[in-house]
């Protein structure tokens, strides 16, 4: 592949991808100035060469739809390696929340930039994010050229004053994102979890989501303890509580979903919820159970994949995650056929894109040009009997060569403009955050 002109990163240009494998055949893809796929065809399509401002020779690369990460806390990239090998509640209350209390908007901006770099490197073009100072996350996403659904993590612990401030933060994010007028960036409501948000808070979030037609992003049934406590406190299982509060819709993304029982899977299916499977985080925090993927799919839900934050994973590599998902499902449910490669691939392409409302997640005429080129001239892609099998099971992120989001080239020939400076700033910011916490005692 050649990168003769650095302006290839600018966006707003027509690009012709030649010599790529697209939908299983050797061919070309034309991307128009508006960032849409104009045409895909077999062969080199010499006719279109004269129209395109840039030509990228894929040198036999696989052209795949860009990947979607449906659950993360991007700026937690700054907390990578800060607290490992702990029980979830202890990890959150003793290490993570005390450090997060010192976060600033600048931290979230730098952490989200770093997260974008990491996600782009694994072929991710869109993500669903829950954290704090989300106007700063939005600024980073805007500059990095990715797509994201952003929510302020809403926690009230049943306290009315806290609820009022969370409502204000959510409303402020709504106005901010609306004002940005960037179709790649959307907001959602983000009730953190049934164990951290009151019924009133959950109901407010569901009503606001419906009124504004935005997504709702929540953690659901990650641990057995939270399920038991929900039944003790509310006399209901967590998914039933969410139904009662209006939180289950086809714009709901529910992270983890490990401990759902059959009836709760049916509920998520009935409302067309998108569960986000987070296998690395669940294994690391020893959640004890894998998301019931097959039950959710059969019930009509839209299972997708997320990495969770960098403190419980500890990276944002969706290709590593998808392999974990395909393996964990088989291991935990003792079935060698559950979550086959083609379904795992759907989770990170079409299902993920559907969950966030970012196009079909397929390479087809008229779709947003969200395209990733994966090198085939590397050991892990040799031989290439089945591109989808290799993407899920063998190739890994170091085979990702070029990433295009809405027609804008974000990475080309393994290069992301500005990466060195972003890593430097993120490292300084992370150490400064920990120093501020230590200084405060």
Ligand X SMILES: CSC[C@H]1O[C@@H](n2cnc3c(O)ncnc32)[C@H](O)[C@@H]1O
Q: Which residue ranges make up the site for ligand X (CB under 6 A)? A: 73, 92, 96-97, 100, 130-132, 153, 155, 192, 219, 222, 281, 308-309, 312
Contact 129, 150 (CB under 8 A): yes
**DSSP alpha helix (H) spans, 235-383:** 238-244, 262-271, 279-284, 293-299, 318-332, 341-348, 350-356
Taking the least distance from each CB to ligand X, the nearer of 379 and 440 is 440
- Beta-carbon count within 10 A of 162 CB: 15
Q: Which entry of ligand X, Zn ion, none binds 375, CB below 5 to 8 A by partner kind?
A: none
Taking the least distance from each CB to ligand X, the nearer of 73 and 375 is 73
Compute CA 441 distance to the chain's CA centroid, rounded to the nearest angstrom: 34
Own/partner long-range contacts of 385-391 (Cβ < 8 Å, ≥24 apart) = 386/341, 387/21, 387/24, 387/62, 387/64, 388/341, 388/342, 388/345, 389/341, 390/62, 391/62, 391/64, 391/319, 391/322, 391/341, 391/345
Taking the least distance from each CB to Zn ion, the nearer of 135 and 308 is 308
- Least separation in angstroms between CB 324 and ligand X: 15
308 assigned binding-site residue? yes
Taking the least distance from each CB to Zn ion, the nearer of 311 and 376 is 311
- Least separation in angstroms between CB 132 and Zn ion: 13
- Least separation in angstroms between CB 400 and ligand X: 25
- Least separation in angstroms between CB 251 and ligand X: 19
Q: Which entry of Zn ion, ligand X, none binds 317, CB below 5 to 8 A by partner kind?
A: none
192 assigned binding-site residue? yes
Q: Measured on CA atoms in the order 278, 283, 286, 290, is the torsion positive or negative?
A: positive
- Least separation in angstroms between CB 148 and ligand X: 15
Q: How many residues does the chain have?
A: 441
What is the C-alpha separation between 327 and 321, in angstroms, rounded?
A: 10
Taking the least distance from each CB to ligand X, the nearer of 54 and 195 is 195
Tell me which H or E stretch contains 19: strand 15-22
What is the C-alpha separation between 167 and 384, in angstroms, rounded?
A: 51
Q: Which entry of ligand X, Zn ion, none binds 155, CB below 5 to 8 A by partner kind?
A: ligand X
Would you report the helix, strand and coil content of the chain in percent, each value rounded to 5? Answer: 45, 20, 35
33 assigned binding-site residue? no
Contact 288, 261 (CB under 8 A): no
Taking the least distance from each CB to ligand X, the nearer of 281 and 302 is 281
Q: Which entry of Zn ion, ligand X, none binds 100, CB below 5 to 8 A by partner kind?
A: ligand X
Lookup: tokens for 5: 């002109």
* Residue 66 DSSP label: P
- Least separation in angstroms between CB 355 and Zn ion: 15
Q: Which entry of Zn ion, ligand X, none binds 131, CB below 5 to 8 A by partner kind?
A: ligand X
Taking the least distance from each CB to ligand X, the nearer of 74 and 388 is 74
Taking the least distance from each CB to ligand X, the nearer of 92 and 325 is 92
| Binding residues for Zn ion (CB under 5 A) | 308
159 assigned binding-site residue? no
Half-sphere exposure of 6 (CA within 13 A, CB side): 4
Residue closest to ligand X when measured from CB atoms: 153
- Least separation in angstroms between CB 71 and Zn ion: 6
- Least separation in angstroms between CB 292 and ligand X: 18
217 assigned binding-site residue? no
| Closest by Cα among 189, 170, 153 to 76 | 153
Q: Which entry of ligand X, Zn ion, none binds 293, CB below 5 to 8 A by partner kind?
A: none
222 assigned binding-site residue? yes
Tell me which H or E stretch contains 107: helix 105-121
Annotated binding site for Zn(2+), which residues? 71, 73, 219, 308
**Known binding positions:** 71, 73, 100, 192, 219, 222, 308
Binding-site members for substrate are 100, 192, 222, 308
């Amino acid at each position: 592949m050649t990168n003769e002109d650095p302006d290839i990163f600018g966006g707003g240009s027509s690009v012709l991808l030649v010599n790529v494998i697209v939908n299983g055949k050797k061919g070309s893809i034309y991307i128009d100035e508006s960032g849409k796929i104009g045409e895909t065809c077999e062969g080199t399509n010499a006719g279109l060469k004269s129209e395109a401002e840039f030509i990228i020779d894929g040198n036999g690369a696989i052209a795949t739809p860009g990947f979607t990460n449906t659950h993360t806390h991007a700026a937690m990239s700054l907390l990578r390696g800060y607290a490992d090998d702990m029980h979830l509640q202890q990890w959150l209350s003793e290490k993570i929340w005390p450090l997060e209390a010192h976060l600033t908007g600048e931290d979230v901006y730098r952490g989200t930039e770093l997260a974008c770099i990491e996600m782009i490197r694994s072929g991710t073009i869109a993500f669903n994010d829950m954290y704090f100072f989300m106007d700063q996350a939005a600024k980073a996403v805007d500059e990095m050229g990715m797509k994201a659904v952003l929510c302020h993590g809403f926690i009230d612990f049943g306290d009315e004053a806290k609820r009022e401030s969370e409502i204000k933060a959510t409303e402020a994010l709504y106005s901010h994102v609306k004002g940005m007028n960037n179709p790649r960036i959307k907001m959602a409501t983000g009730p953190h979890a049934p164990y951290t948000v009151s019924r009133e808070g959950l109901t407010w979030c569901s009503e606001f989501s419906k009124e504004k037609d935005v997504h709702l992003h929540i953690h659901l049934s990650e641990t057995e303890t939270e399920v038991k406590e929900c039944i003790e406190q509310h006399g209901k299982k967590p998914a039933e509580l969410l139904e009662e509060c209006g939180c289950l819709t086809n714009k709901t993304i529910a992270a983890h979903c490990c401990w759902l029982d059959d009836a709760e899977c049916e509920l998520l299916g009935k409302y067309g919820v998108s569960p986000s499977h987070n296998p690395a985080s669940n294994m690391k925090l020893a959640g004890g159970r894998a998301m019931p993927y097959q039950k959710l799919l059969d019930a009509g839900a839209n299972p997708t994949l997320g990495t969770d934050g960098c403190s419980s994973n500890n990276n944002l590599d969706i290709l590593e995650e998808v392999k974990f998902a395909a393996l964990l499902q088989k291991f935990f449910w003792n079935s060698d056929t559950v979550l086959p490669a083609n379904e795992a691939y759907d989770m990170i392409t079409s299902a993920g894109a559907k969950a966030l409302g970012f196009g079909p997640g397929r390479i087809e005429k008229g779709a947003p040009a969200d395209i990733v080129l994966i090198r085939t001239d590397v050991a892990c892609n040799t031989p290439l009997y089945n591109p989808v099998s290799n993407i899920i099971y063998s190739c890994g992120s170091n085979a990702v060569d070029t990433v295009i989001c809405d027609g804008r080239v974000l990475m080309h020939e393994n290069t992301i403009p500005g990466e060195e400076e972003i890593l430097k700033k993120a490292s300084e910011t992370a150490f400064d955050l920990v120093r501020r916490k230590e200084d405060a005692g």
